[in-house]
């Protein structure tokens, strides 16, 4: 019991603090063919169950009494293993499914996508550094928290960071598995599906939404989606890097490049992209044991000193490094606009993913016919401080779609 209390104390704290990779501080898979939900679901394991009263007590003791009235149910947390694909091949992946206890009406499904993580221990299913999104289940949602490919059961794969297709399938296939799981557990499910995410999770949320909306074979429909502070336009991010301006979190730059090398099977050594000693350091730095902060300390914040000269100059030359530039374009949201109600949240003082990235994405969505998309600026919000204000308006907005559920 003490272990359970401590776990949920961490959960509640992390709900409001662990919102992204670090606090402030494309060979595409083939088109998915519809398959029975049971073909995605592999197995499940109950990790813990916590009663409603305990959750409310913890929320109050942690200074979050304002949210305690949203805690209407106890929560049972399961680790779920499911089938998905990576580079066109079948693999198994994992995530958490958090189920409201003793709910008498069919529950909506809410898939919550976490921010960037570097350490294997930070994967949600390890249940040691919780994302906090588990608390949505206490408000009456069957809440899914994918580990993502590259963590949990698929940790032997280099995480396909900011890869649109693999990000999407990790979520979409888990939703299908969750429906089969709900049938096995005799948990009634409504027809409502919500997608929520912050930082990398914001990007993954839009990737999953796009996959669902553009591929009817999935048999899914998004009720509403909310994405916060994601890097939706990677071509714009590239322009910032190529300018040579200092970037305080070089671990993210190294993450994207290594992801694309692995995911796209580029037969190029790290020395093509990075100067020494960084090229030689990176494999050990990204071994699943180091935090983003630890990786940052071993790199440089100056792109011109981090990247190999020929590569860095190629970023500035339209006719060079075309393979990378094409991959960034492919994985940006340039040729799609959301059909379902969508909110983009972003802090105006975000120095990790600039507010302008969401603004140009929003403008593009509107120009391409999106009629139910909103941009919600959080004035003065940083990458680490924006999530709480986002949450405060997000919960009532999601609840507004449940009329007639």
Measured CA to CA, the distance from residue 226 to residue 345 in angstroms comes to: 7
| 197 and 93 fall within a common domain | yes
Select from 303, 330, 357 the last residue of a domain.
330
Residue 78's DSSP bridge partners are 46, 97
* 12 token code pair: 């509640």
The domain in which residue 38 lies consists of 2-233+337-402
* Mean pLDDT (the chain, rounded): 89
Q: What is the CATH number of the domain that holds 246?
A: 1.10.260.160
303 and 376 belong to one structural domain: no
**Which residue did the predictor score with more confidence, 144 or 28?**
144
| Same-domain check for residues 205 and 344 | yes
- Average pLDDT value for residue range 6-19: 39
- In terms of domains, do 240 and 367 share one? no
pLDDT attached to residue 388: 84
Same domain, 268 and 172: no
Alpha helix positions (H), 138-249: 164-185, 200-214, 234-242
Instruction: Clarify whether residues 242 and 191 are in a common domain.
Output: no
Is residue 263 domain-shared with residue 227, that is, in the same domain? no
Do 146 and 24 belong together in one domain? yes
> For 215-226, what is each residue's pLDDT tens digit?
999 999 999 999
Residue 242 has pLDDT above 60, yes or no: yes
The DSSP output letter for 263 is: H
- Regarding whether 59 and 131 lie in a shared domain, the answer is yes
The enclosing domain of 31 has a CATH number of 3.40.50.1820
- Structural domains in the chain (count): 2
Residues 288-339 have pLDDT tens digits of 999 999 999 999 999 999 999 999 999 999 999 999 999 999 999 999 999 9
pLDDT of residue 23: 40
Q: Check: pTM over 0.75? Answer yes or no.
A: yes
At 133 the pLDDT is 74
Same domain, 218 and 242: no
What single-letter DSSP state applies at residue 274? B
Per-residue pLDDT, 3 = 39
Which residue did the predictor score with more confidence, 1 or 370?
A: 370
- Which pLDDT belongs to residue 57? 82
Do 283 and 368 have their domain in common?
no
Is the same domain home to 255 and 342?
A: no
Cβ 113 vs Cβ 204: under 8 Å: yes
């Amino acid at each position: 019991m003490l272990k359970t209390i401590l776990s949920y104390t961490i959960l509640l704290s992390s709900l409001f603090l662990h919102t992204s990779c670090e606090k402030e501080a494309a060979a595409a898979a083939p088109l998915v063919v519809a398959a029975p939900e049971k073909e995605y679901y592999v197995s499940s394991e109950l990790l813990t169950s916590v009663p409603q009263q305990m959750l409310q007590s913890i929320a109050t003791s942690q200074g979050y009494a304002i949210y305690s009235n949203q805690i209407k149910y106890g929560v049972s947390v399961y680790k779920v293993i499911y089938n998905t694909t990576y580079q066109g091949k079948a693999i198994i992946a994992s995530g958490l499914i958090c189920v409201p206890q003793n709910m008498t009406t069919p529950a909506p499904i809410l898939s919550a996508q976490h921010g960037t993580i570097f350490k294997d221990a930070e994967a949600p299913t390890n249940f040691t550094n919780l994302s906090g999104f588990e608390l949505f289940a206490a408000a009456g949602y069957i809440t899914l928290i994918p580990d993502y490919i590259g963590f949990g059961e698929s940790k032997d794969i280099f995480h396909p960071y900011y890869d649109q297709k693999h990000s999407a399938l990790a979520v979409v296939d888990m939703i299908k598995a969750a429906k089969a799981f709900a049938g096995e557990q005799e948990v009634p499910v409504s027809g409502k599906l919500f997608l929520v995410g912050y930082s990398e999770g914001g990007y993954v949320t839009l990737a999953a939404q796009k996959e669902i909306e553009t591929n009817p074979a999935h048999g899914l429909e998004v009720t509403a989606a909310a994405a916060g502070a994601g890097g939706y336009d990677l071509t714009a991010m590239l322009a910032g890097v190529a300018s040579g301006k200092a970037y305080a979190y070089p671990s993210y730059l190294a993450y994207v490049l290594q992801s694309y090398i692995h995911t796209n099977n580029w037969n190029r050594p790290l020395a093509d992209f990075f100067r020494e000693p960084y090229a030689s350091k990176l494999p050990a730095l990204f071994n699943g044991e180091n935090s983003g902060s630890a990786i940052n300390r071993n790199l440089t914040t100056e792109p011109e000193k981090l990247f190999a000269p020929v590569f860095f100059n190629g970023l500035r030359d339209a006719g060079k490094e075309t393979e990378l530039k094409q991959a960034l374009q492919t994985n940006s949201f340039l040729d799609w606009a959301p059909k379902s109600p969508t909110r983009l949240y972003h802090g105006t003082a975000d120095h990790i993913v600039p507010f302008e990235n969401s603004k140009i994405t929003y403008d593009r969505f509107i120009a391409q016919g999106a009629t139910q998309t909103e941009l919600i600026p959080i004035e003065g919000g940083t990458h680490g401080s924006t999530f709480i204000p986002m949450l405060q308006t997000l919960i009532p907005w999601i609840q507004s779609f449940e009329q007639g559920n």
